[in-house]
Structure 1
Amino acid sequence: MQQVADALRQAERILIITGAGLSADSGLPTYRGVGGLYNDRTEDGLPIETALSGPMLRLDPALCWKYLAEIGRACISAKPNAGHAAIAELQRRKPNCWVLTQNIDGYHREAGSPPQRLIEIHGTLGHLYCMSCGEPSEELTEHLARPLPPLCACGGVLRPPVVLFDEMLPESALARLHEESAKGFDAVVAVGTSASFAYIVEPLLRARHSGGFTAQIDPAASELSLMVDVHVAAGASDVLPQLVRHIFPN
């Protein structure tokens, strides 16, 4: 941990990449990995990647919304944890610290991360919109107490502005990430994610190749562990506050 703290203290440009493991400490379920709800199949006998996919939302909206609602209720009932707060504090102290998150819960914003340095690559749960006419609707909370799938006045199915499986990442978020990555990062830290998607691996590898520091904070080892300088095998909500205290002792 001291090695990570020293590297972040010296770094000017920092990228923190966060995944479901960070919000798991708030009580949210992960899709897979340690404590994952869907390590095998859903109760409908489908992989979660199929049940929560764009094609399934169009083919069987009720089935897809069954799992969207499960995630939505979990996000609404929980709150940001000490890990989110520590990242927000790091961003406050380090004006060139960026966050790239896979999470759709909105907890980074709620914890105080500045929106202008936050890339929510999968979107966030919020106001729904109609898949047919495009009109916005009420927030997700308002629809969870009603029959699912939620419907627009025009009869079309409503959906949240998030990226489901088998859907493209938003071009605007990718453009921001590529723009900042092109400037280079002195340190890249992956927190609570075992994913090896290109948009996660590329910043890590680019930082390593340019002489920067890379780390992973996650209880379990994964492919990413082999790509970084340091793997801290512990929970984010425990490690991140300690890191911030080490970096800024006063």
Structure 2
Amino acid sequence: MEEALERVIEHLSRARSVLFVTGAGISAESGIPTYRGIGGLYDGKTTEGGVPIEVALSGSMFRRRPELTWKHLHEIERACRGAKFNRAHEVLALMEGCFERCWVLTQNVDGFHKAAGSRNVIDIHGDVHDLRCTRCDFSERVRDYTHLAPCPSCPQCGSVVRPEVVLFEELLPPEKVAVMEREFAQGFDLVFSIGTSSLFPYITAPVVDAVARRRPTVEINPGQTQLSRVVDVQLQMGAVAACEAVWAARERWKRG
């Protein structure tokens, strides 16, 4: 492990631009269920009504039966309520000030990266705390869902309100895709993959691109993923322990 850490610090010391790609694993130690970032309550299961969770939380279901989708959104939010960002999120926020260019691309919808202080965040799947009307321009940010009705309506026009997250079957938000593609096009000197099972092409793409450009890559994950065999360094451990170890090693290196 010490050898792997030394290699990570060597890469960090030479980098001017860094990308951190994060998944559910970075928030797991905050108490957030890890199933695709939306709730381990349903991992490999159907809902109590016999509907697969991917269907209940799909864009088409929301259009047909928003009350059913909101029922499960409420359950997921309730299971995560009270959780907050952890040391891994804090370390990535600190890292932002150490490089000329530093970004976080996250699949998570918990908003923890921004809450921890990161400014350059592409939350490609949205943030569960941001709500918007499905018809008019009403939007608001909420701390939790305690005050929301089972199927909340817009105070301006009465239409259904929804969280600003990407439901199953829905396209990624164009404005966030544009930022992601702009930053990808510039490339990064160093790319980290942290706590993600690397299932989506746009999540694996930065690592694959870095490998093709012969730029160093680091994976932080207690398990194996499809990227584990191609990255330069693998820290096979949890996100909090790994990020703390990397930050501590970097501070020691700075002191000489």
Please list the CA deviations of residues 50-102 of structure 1 after superposition, one character each: whole Å capped at 9, or x if unmatched: 22111121122122112212332344411100100111111122231211011
Q: Distance in 1 between matches of 2:81 and 2:160?
A: 21
Task: Label 1:138 to 1:39 Cα distance change in 2 as closer, same or farther (>3 A).
Answer: closer
Task: Label 1:138 to 1:199 Cα distance change in 2 as closer, same or farther (>3 A).
Answer: closer
Q: Displacement of 1:174 after TM fit?
A: 1.1
- 2:127 is paired with a residue whose SS is coil
Amino acid at match of 2:249: H
Aligned residues: 246
Task: Label 1:48 to 1:223 Cα distance change in 2 as closer, same or farther (>3 A).
Answer: farther
Amino acid at match of 2:35: Y
Q: 5 Å matches for 1:234-245?
A: 234-245=237-248
Structure 1 unaligned regions, length at least 5: none
User: Contact (CA 8 Å) 1:214, 1:230: kept in 2 or not?
Assistant: yes
Task: Label 1:67 to 1:244 Cα distance change in 2 as closer, same or farther (>3 A).
Answer: same
Counterpart in the other structure of 2:65? 60
Q: Distance in 1 between matches of 2:198 and 2:33?
A: 16
User: Contact (CA 8 Å) 1:20, 1:192: kept in 2 or not?
Assistant: yes
Amino acid at match of 1:201: T
User: Contact (CA 8 Å) 1:6, 1:247: kept in 2 or not?
Assistant: no
Q: 5 Å matches for 1:85-104?
A: 85-104=90-109
Q: Displacement of 1:244 after TM fit?
A: 1.1
Amino acid at match of 1:57: F
Q: 5 Å matches for 1:106-185?
A: 106-114=111-119, 117-137=120-140, 139=142, 141=144, 143-153=145-155, 154-185=157-188
Q: Distance in 1 between matches of 2:54 and 2:229?
A: 25
Task: Label 1:146 to 1:171 Cα distance change in 2 as closer, same or farther (>3 A).
Answer: closer
TM-score by length of 1: 0.90
Q: Distance in 2 between matches of 1:65 and 1:210?
A: 44
Task: Label 1:138 to 1:106 Cα distance change in 2 as closer, same or farther (>3 A).
Answer: closer
Query: Which of the numbers 28, 34, 43 marks the counterpart of 1:39?
Result: 43
Task: Label 1:36 to 1:225 Cα distance change in 2 as closer, same or farther (>3 A).
Answer: farther
Counterpart in the other structure of 2:203? 200
% same residue:
43
> Is 2:13 the counterpart of 1:9?
yes
User: Contact (CA 8 Å) 2:122, 2:176: kept in 1 or not?
Assistant: yes
User: Contact (CA 8 Å) 1:72, 1:140: kept in 2 or not?
Assistant: no
Please list the CA deviations of residues 154-201 of structure 1 after superposition, one character each: whole Å capped at 9, or x if unmatched: 332110111111111111111111111111111111111103312112
- 2:231 is paired with a residue whose SS is coil
Counterpart in the other structure of 2:250? 247
Q: Displacement of 1:144 after TM fit?
A: 3.1
4+ residue segments displaced more than 6 Å: none
Q: Displacement of 1:26 after TM fit?
A: 0.2
Q: Displacement of 1:146 after TM fit?
A: 4.2
Structure 2 unaligned regions, length at least 5: none
Q: Displacement of 1:39 after TM fit?
A: 2.5
Superposed CA RMSD in Å reads 2.1
Q: Displacement of 1:113 after TM fit?
A: 0.7
Q: Displacement of 1:216 after TM fit?
A: 1.4
User: Contact (CA 8 Å) 1:130, 1:137: kept in 2 or not?
Assistant: no
Q: Distance in 2 between matches of 1:36 and 1:9?
A: 37
User: Contact (CA 8 Å) 2:18, 2:190: kept in 1 or not?
Assistant: yes
